[in-house]
Amino acid sequence: MKIGITGGIACGKTTVLRIFQGIGFQVLNADEMVHELLGSNRALVEAIGKYFGNEVLNEKGGIDRSKLAERVLSDAYALSFLEGLLHPLVEKRIEASMRDGSIDWAVEIPLLFEKNLNQYFDYTICVITNERLQAEYLRKNNFSLETAELRVRHQMPLKEKILRADFVVSNTSSVDFLESQIITLMEELNAMRL
């Protein structure tokens, strides 16, 4: 079984991914893949440096992710260029990783529907939360409200993700409550496979 996980910023997608890992799924995180690529792929770093200039590089010649984010979140053309470099690499990794159909996979992809990656999955899940918990997470992880709003503007509205997803899980209480929703869902899906 292949499950794609999406949702809004700070809704609990990574927590849901960890729950799937805890129940035996192999997991992938698209954001982590991007961070890894920005840290290890020299050709990618060079292409980004050539397009954006030294302002997005750190003192070691690598990518300063916060400076790069600042730049692309305020410039649609720059964002499109960066996504054109990154997304095919991430999509290729996801597709290659999930080739073994005997393994259950859960993959966290914030732009799952925006980039039409839902085609790779048997089921999709949208994680939702309330504004208070979302704001708490953003504060705890040093996200400014302005940065969060810029990121949200580049994503499909959460209401639309909810409509497109096969399932919605609510991250408005404890991790135990979230886990119980995932376990119930998996029991139902596994029963359908029998």
Is residue 194 a part of any domain in this protein?
no
pTM: predicted TM-score of the whole model, two decimal places: 0.90
The pLDDT, as a whole number, for residue 148 is 66
Cα 20 from Cα 121, distance rounded (Å): 15
Is residue 131 a part of any domain in this protein?
yes
Whether the predicted pLDDT of 51 surpasses 70: yes
Cα 10 from Cα 118, distance rounded (Å): 20
**Domain count for the chain:** 1
Which one-letter DSSP state was computed for residue 120?
G
Amino acid identity of residue 43, one-letter, is A
106-134 tens-digit pLDDT: 999 999 999 999 999 999 999 999 888 87
Cα 107 from Cα 92, distance rounded (Å): 13
Cα 28 from Cα 35, distance rounded (Å): 13
Q: What would the mean pLDDT of 163-171 be, rounded to a whole number?
A: 96
The pLDDT, as a whole number, for residue 14 is 94
Is residue 125 a part of any domain in this protein?
yes
Is residue 135 a part of any domain in this protein?
yes
Amino acid identity of residue 127, one-letter, is V
Is residue 126 a part of any domain in this protein?
yes
The CATH number assigned to the domain holding 105 equals: 3.40.50.300
Is residue 162 a part of any domain in this protein?
yes
**What is the span of the domain harbouring residue 90?**
2-189
